[in-house]
Structure 1
Amino acid sequence: MLDPLDPNASDHDTERRKSGLLGGLRASFLTGIVVIAPIGLTVYLLWTIMGWIDSVVLPLVPGPWRPEQYIGINLRGVGVIFFILFTIVIGWVAKGLIGRSLIKWAEGLVDQMPVVRSIYNGLKQIAETVFAQQDASFEKACLVEYPRKGIFAIGFISTNAKGEINRVAGGMDPLLSVFVPTTPNPTSGFLLFFKESEVTVLDMTVEDAAKLVISAGLVYPDEATAPETPLVRIPEKAVRESWR
């Protein structure tokens, strides 16, 4: 408590108000950074990607089809629209009989080129793995003991191990294919095979587990449905006997 007879009391009070004001401004600034940074980076990345697609696609579009010829403004994103429409048309043609025949003929032609064949088959396999709608996503998040017993890592269960791997290493206990990502880049990691009894499936979603990995353990999901720990009740008779 400040002494009212102290001539420096008002100065101390003023300094306290200034420090409180600066602390509030600092907290508001940091909160604003947390809100603005993800939005700004997302907009910047989308804007950059659209510009890159426009620079690749628009030179291939005939001049009369470009809207800037009529409005005089170079609209960003026009190349993205042309690319989406072109991809839809190609996919529609590829699903038809003529399209499948042309693709088969072109792949047969590529198979006759040694270097081109290797590049094409590798890129085709990657594209089918990434964009295939079936069996392309992780099923559940889990905990595994890795890289040794007593240390736990978050993993993503992809599929049940099949074929030779499950037959050689699994034995009586089936194996699970688990992808263990690295932090903070979850796109790299290790494909490991664990026995089903060694994998602990988590209740959190795959998205929440990915956020936990990317944030290096700073962002934990809300455990709203966590089971309550039951209370251990001691009989009253036992309590009375313990005090005798």
Structure 2
Amino acid sequence: MRETLTPLPEPDPAGARPPPRVSKKSRLRTYFLTGIIVAGPLAITIYITWWFISLIDGWVKPLVPASYLPDHYLPFSIPGIGLVIAFIAVTLLGFLTANLVGRSVVEFGEVLLARTPVISGLYKGLRQIFETLFSANGTSFRTVGLVEFPVKGTWSVVFVSAPAGPDVQTALGEENDHVGVFLPCAPNPTTGFFFYLPRADIIEVPMSIDDAAKLVMSAGVIQPEDPQVRLQAMAASIRAAQNGQATGPEAALEASSRRQEKLVSTE
């Protein structure tokens, strides 16, 4: 008598496995962290903006007669009136300075300040700084570079400012083209070290000043990211959430558990 063999069931392919379920606790934690990521920067931005507007209003409003302020006629205070008045006043001052009459008045005032012993040096230094930072043809930080500092083999992020002046270049030697660089300290980039280096010792990096400042303030945690890569990651997270799959740390834990299950099954 011929024996009939029953075929064994074929194993389910990996793609037919249903997606792992995410617990309510994990979803709640993900939603909470997402809310913090969205609300945190927004709240801090609103707070700083409100503080700046209140500061300018406190400076400008006492200088304006009360009869010219809307607060005198309304039962409530309108924030930002002082900021608007300051903006109009500064713009009008720039317009007058660009004309011949306004330029003559400014030059006359500078002559008076130049004759004052202490104020003259302070005014000249501040004006040079403001012209460098805010002028259209100024020489503010526009390039990011890497220098070998503090020891050989370690590289630090620097902001390249301007070439060395004639006196500094002559003192350092004409054979090398020296340039001034600012080495910011982390996590506060407003403090640091300024020194001159040969241009050949600086490796320029195709990075914006904003990205470099974020890199320094975060101590390397926030890296410059391609917008396309960011959009692709966001799209992948949205698709995973729509399919009921975990993302982020939960996805890593589930992937690790699946690998362990495969190892146990093979043994």
Q: So what's the TM-score if we normalise by structure 1? A: 0.76
Residue 181 of structure 2 aligns to a residue in which SS?
strand
Runs (4 or more) in structure 1 with deviation over 6 Å come to none
Structure 1 vs Structure 2 CA RMSD: 2.3
Determine whether 1:98 maps to 2:101: yes
Instruction: Answer whether contact 2:184 2:193 (CA < 8 A) is retained.
Output: yes
Q: For residues 113 and 167 of structure 1, do their structure 2 counterparts lie closer, same or farther at Cα, with a shift above 3 Å needed?
A: closer
Query: Which of 147, 158, 161 is residue 158 of structure 1 equivalent to?
Result: 161
Does 2:68 correspond to 1:65? yes
User: How far apart in 2 are the matches of 1:168 and 1:201?
Assistant: 25
1:144-190 alpha-carbon deviations (Å, 9 max, x no partner): 10112111101122222231322332542312222111111212222
SS in 1 for 2:59: helix
Q: Which amino acid aligns with 1:28?
A: Y
**Corresponding residue of 1:138:** 141
- CA distance in structure 1 between the aligned counterparts of 2:31 and 2:227, rounded to whole angstroms: 28
Give unpaired runs (5+ residues) of structure 1: 1-16, 226-244
Q: 1:70 to 1:136 in 2, by over 3 A?
A: farther
**Structure 1 residue 29: Cα displacement:** 1.6
1:221–1:99: structure 2 CA closer, same or farther, 3 Å change rule?
A: same
TM-superposed CA distance for 1:209, in Å, is: 1.7
Q: Tell me whether 92-101 or 216-225 shows the greater mean CA deviation.
A: 216-225
1:42 equivalent among 45, 58, 66: 45
- Corresponding residue for 1:14? none
Q: Whole-Å Cα distance in 2 between the matches of residues 95 and 135 of structure 1? A: 17
CA contact (8 A) 1:170 1:195 kept: no
Distance 1:189 1:106, change over 3 A: same
Moved more, 53-62 or 131-140: 131-140
Identify the structure with bigger relative contact order (alpha carbons < 8 Å, sequence gap 6+): 2
Q: How many residues align?
A: 208
Residue 218 of structure 2 aligns to which amino acid in structure 1? Answer: S
Q: Residue 168 of structure 1 is aligned with which of 171, 174, 185?
A: 171
CA change 1:117–1:162 in 2 (3 A) is: closer
Q: Does 1:85 align with 2:88?
A: yes
Structure 2's unaligned 5+ residue stretches are: 1-20, 229-267
CA 1:54 to 1:173, structure 2 compared with 1: closer, same or farther past 3 Å?
A: same
- The Cα offsets for residues 59-111 of structure 1, whole Å up to 9 and x where unpaired, read as 11122221123332210001100011111111111222222222222222223
| Equivalent AA in structure 2 for residue 50 of structure 1 | I
- 1:123 counterpart = 2:126: yes
**Residue equivalent to 1:24:** 27
- Aligned mate of 2:195, from 192, 197, 206: 192
Q: Is the 8 A contact 1:139 1:159 kept in 2?
A: no
Displacement after TM superposition at 1:57 (Å): 0.6
1:74 aligned to 2:77? yes
